[in-house]
A and B are shown apart, each in its own frame.
Chain A
Amino acid sequence: QKEVEQNSGPLSVPEGAIASLNCTYSDRGSQSFFWYRQYSGKSPELIMFIYSNGDKEDGRFTAQLNKASQYVSLLIRDSQPSDSATYLCAVNSFSGGYNKLIFGAGTRLAVHP
């Protein structure tokens, strides 16, 4: 069973701090990695994707990928209360002849003023 693991949280950080969200995956063949943000009662929104080892930055968000350690993380700089949401890590896995996204259970982030 190919799995994606995340700490369920809640991860509580003060406003202005860096929030660090982590994800590990079991399928060594995975090539594509995604972070989704989901507000309560809403659908997941794609905020970052990364395909190569290293860092990828987009505004206040940085995705980090280490395929050797099977580890992907999301850093949110200058965290705002509006960043409070559940963050889902998703990994593309080749299964049954086709690619499929496997989601972690999500980490709940709470940014307090």
Chain B
Amino acid sequence: KAGVTQTPRYLIKTRGQQVTLSCSPISGHRSVSWYQQTPGQGLQFLFEYFSETQRNKGNFPGRFSGRQFSNSRSEMNVSTLELGDSALYLCASRAASGGDYEQYFGPGTRLTVT
């Protein structure tokens, strides 16, 4: 079974621009979560989507948004980029059925804002 895929893998943007990141979960997984990872803050939860609905949201400004499509693929958008948004953005998927809470990460998108 193929793992979680993320595109693009690397991205360089300038301040003020916006960016869209994409995530395709493991086949059959219905939940997609997004995380931001920086050396100083560690792994920070952004939001989780399940069946096209946002179920949980972390403490990030409204510039960070996401959505999920009917095939469970998810996109994350960051508008008006700031230098501090430079980070590794990770998505993770899980089956979200029964008692299955195991979450699997994609390779990440490394975003650099200049």
Contact = CB atoms under 8 A, between A and B. Distances in A.
Interface of A: 32, 34, 36, 42-46, 49, 51, 88, 90, 92, 95-106
Identify whether the interface residues of B are mostly helix, strand, loop, or mixed: strand
B81 to A, nearest CB: 22
Contacts of A42: 107
Interface residues of B, number: 18
Given A44-B90, A88-B43, A96-B56, A101 B103 contact: yes
Identify whether the interface residues of A are mostly helix, strand, loop, or mixed: strand
Given A44-B105, A103-B42, 12 more contacts: A32-B99, A36-B105, A43-B88, A43-B108, A51-B99, A92-B101, A95-B56, A101-B33, A101-B101, A101-B103, A102-B45, A103-B43
A45 B105 contact: yes
Contacts, number: 49
Nearest to B57: A96
B64 interface: no
10 contacts: A34-B101, A34-B102, A42-B107, A43-B107, A45-B105, A49-B101, A90-B103, A101-B33, A101-B45, A101-B101
